Structure 1
Amino acid sequence: MTSFEFPGEYYEIMRGDFRDLAAETDFLSSFASAGGRVLDLGCGTGTNLRELGARGFSCLGADQSARFIEYARGAGGRNVEYVHERAETFTTDDRFDLVYSIFMTLNYLPRAELRTVLRTMRGLLRPGGHVVLEFGHLLNFVEGFQQHTVAHHRGGDGVLITRLARQAINPHAANWRNEETLLVRESDGRVSLYDNFFDQAVLTGPEVRELLADAGLRIIAEYGGFRKEPVPFHGRGPLVIVATAQGEDSE
């Protein structure tokens, strides 16, 4: 289960502290032809899609958070559309040159739905199209576990977000529950509070590779990040997988 129903402008501030948007945009652009059709499953506030749309791609984003989709639509951007829909239930007659799901969206999905979502991704590809997945795997969770954390995120307009987080483990379900309280101080001194939580399935590389093969997808590359660096031997950090439909050639 996940709950991301807080204002999208605060998510944008926090996201900026964790991500390298330029590297993500260059990476994703390299797997779709110029002007191609792109789908982001779990698009959040549309950060990646606005950058891809500015580069001439035709973009569609889907996310389960009504607040994030509201922000994304209000933020504008060329060549970008959004739908308020969960990845597990998303359907369309459209087809895409690139379908991607990043920033650990795969980990947020119910484990029982992973096979269906990956098969859906396969069915949405145009000939020669690519799927890009980024997910956190076992060592991310083992090494990153902290029962309680406090973090501060500052926006350029004077907004201060204090994030109080608690992690709880269900080892029998291989699930991490993250409970967060966001305290937000605006530049004029107003303070607001938001309650946020999300579950993350602890995935492993072999598990995801098996699911991709079962969905009819063939892995063509694996990376340790969006600068196309090699997957580190020690297994720490995220894993980025690029796949295409089985039986198709790829560049």
Structure 2
Amino acid sequence: MTDLTGTSFEFPGEYYEIMRKDFRNLDAETEFLASLLPDAGTVLDLGCGTGSNLRALRERGHRGTGVDQSAAFLEYARAAGDEGISYVEARAEEYRTDERYDLVYSLFMTLNYLDRGRLPAVLRSVRELLNPGGQVVLEFGHLLNFVDSFQPNSVGHHRRDGVLITRLARQFINAHAANWRNEETLLVRTADGTVAMYDNFFDQAVLTGPEVRELLAAAGLTITAEYGGFRKEPAPFHGRGPLVIVATATPADTASDTAQQEENQA
């Protein structure tokens, strides 16, 4: 049986930035995240990539930490300016710190990249990393989104500042593990005509909305809002697009009552 676990994103961060601009709305993300922060707030970005969100929030007076497993992306992030930002090379589930944050967020499907068996521990850790009144933002792909957007093979082009990136992608499914594997080849032509090729792959656990809501509740997190995007649009019923969930730590007395109820039911 093919081993379907892991991710590999080791290509120059400037190319990731070009592709990201075609997929994401940084202004909307920044406005959304900043609205959840106090003045001079502290943030933790799990799966920070090249640090775009952290730099945008830094411009608004917030400081934070970015965690990512890609050495190439973090090299770009540090070179782009890291005053008030610290970067840690690690997988999100491996990150440990004594710091506490006003906002912990994980965007762009990072939650789906994690081993689903480790999600309960990751979310408990996220809760413990919050300052009193702190909030969590999770953006994840759900089952209907995967089904709606599935393409066995696709080709995409990304252009900026004389650079052309051609992205060849293949998706296939391990139905027994509820896992999507994405394999990509990037062909990059720079402004001077140089051509390079990079291979990437990433596995995504196919999560459902109810599954994530139950995991959050079990981790001691209470959902305060759900959206279909960072402009606070409602989650669409047809399934296209991710879910964005905002949560905060469940009050200790409520968490204790819930644990007691579960124990009684057992």
| Shorter-chain TM-score tier | over 0.9
Q: 1:37 is matched with which residue: 39, 42, 58?
A: 42
Aligned to 1:70: 75
Task: Within 5 Å, give how 1:234-245 maps onto structure 2.
Answer: 234-245=238-249
User: SS state of the match for residue 207, structure 2?
Assistant: coil
Q: What one-letter code is carried by the residue in structure 1 that aligns with 2:36? A: F
For 2:234 and 2:168, the matched residues in 1 are separated by 34
Alpha-carbon contact 1:53-1:77 (below 8 Å) kept: no
Q: Distance in 2 between matches of 1:98 and 1:108?
A: 21
Question: Sequence identity of aligned pairs in percent?
Answer: 72
- Counterpart amino acid of residue 47 in structure 1: S
Contact 2:148 2:239 in 1 (8 A): no
| Deviation at residue 77 of structure 1 after TM alignment | 4.5
Please give the alpha-carbon distance, in whole angstroms, between the structure 2 residues aligned to 1:52 and 1:113.
29
Alignment match of 1:219 (pick from 210, 217, 223): 223
* Distance in 2, Cα, partners of 1:159 & 1:63: 25
- Contact 1:105–1:135 at 8 Å: present in 2 too? yes
Tell me which amino acid in the other structure corresponds to 1:85.
A
For 1:147-166, what per-residue CA distance to the aligned partner results, in whole angstroms no more than 9, with x for missing partners?
A: 111110012x2000000011
Residues 226 and 245 in structure 2, CA contact (< 8 A), matched pair in contact too: yes
Q: Which residue of 1 aligns with 2:165?
A: 161
In 2, the alpha carbon distance for the partners of 1:116 and 1:160 equals: 41
Matched pairs, number: 247
User: What SS class does the counterpart of residue 50 from structure 1 fall into?
Assistant: helix
Name the residue aligned to 2:63: 58
**Aligned-partner SS, 1:172:** helix
3-state SS in 1 of match to 2:102:
strand
How much does 1:229 deviate?
Answer: 1.1
Separation in 2 of the partners of 1:55 and 1:149? Answer: 38
Cα distance in 2 for residues equivalent to 1:207 and 1:178: 22
Cα distance in 1 between the residues matched to 2:236 and 2:154: 27
> Which sections of structure 1, spanning at least 5 residues, go unmatched?
none
How far apart in 2 are the matches of 1:234 and 1:6? Answer: 34
1:116 positional shift: 1.1
The equivalent of 1:182 in structure 2 is 186
Deviation, structure 1 residue 232: 2.0
- Contact persistence 1:24–1:226 (CA under 8 A): yes
Matching residue of 2:119: 114
Q: TM-score scaled to structure 2, two decimals?
A: 0.91
Residue of structure 2 in register with 1:205 after alignment: 209
Alignment partner of 1:98 out of 87, 94, 103: 103
Query: How many angstroms does 1:234 deviate by?
Result: 2.9
Q: Distance in 1 between matches of 2:187 and 2:198?
A: 7
Q: In the alignment, which residue of structure 1 is the partner of 2:195?
A: 191
Unpaired runs of 5+ residues, structure 2, are 1-5, 253-266
Amino acid at match of 1:159: V
TM-score when normalising by structure 1: 0.97
Query: Aligned partner of 1:114: which letter?
Result: L
CA-based RMSD: 0.9
CA contact (8 A) 1:165 1:178 kept: yes
Paired residue secondary structure (2:49): coil
Q: Which residue of 2 aligns with 1:135?
A: 140
Given candidates 91, 94, 105, the residue that maps to 1:89 is: 94
